[in-house]
Copies of this chain bind each other. A is one copy, B any other.
């Protein structure tokens, strides 16, 4: 099978290059020619291996799995959410923001890309958040019916997206800690 011709290391290198290009030039300007040039591979190889640009981009997104929130368990919701924010490094946040910008229009047109981006950036974070929030409810820190519980991902994504657009500054952990104290904890009543 053609796919077996690339080593896993070479495949990972290709996916990383695709994501870098996405951040730099956006989806529309990301051509198979540009990928071939950046990765020093032939277009024939790219097409044989991935079939099409959307398929290559979706695979690259799915390959880049974020770290999980599963191991965070400080014993309190305040501690857990602060830990989530503190261990996200500013550089990774800016890289994720650049990916979202580069794909914002394309994902709206292409459901397969949308699903891949959602899984990468949102799915695991949401599953992790759900678990932190469930434990907080079990401990009695947050009332089970608190309507803000289902909006925690919206609050956090909003903080990330709004920072460059409204304040013209990059997201960093210090800003997110301030936002947790000002918005998220009061909304949850903790």
Contacts and interface: CB of A to CB of B under 8 A. Distances in A.
Interface in A131-180: 146-148, 150-151, 153-159, 161-166, 168, 178-179
A162 B181 CA distance: 20
| Interface majority SS (helix, strand, loop, mixed), chain A | helix
A71 interface: no
A104 interface: yes
A154 B155 CA distance: 8
A98 interface: yes
15 contacts: A26-B105, A27-B105, A101-B105, A101-B108, A102-B104, A126-B166, A148-B183, A151-B179, A151-B183, A154-B163, A157-B158, A157-B161, A158-B161, A158-B162, A183-B187
Given A154-B159, A157-B161, A157-B162, 6 more contacts: A25-B105, A102-B104, A114-B168, A147-B181, A153-B166, A156-B158
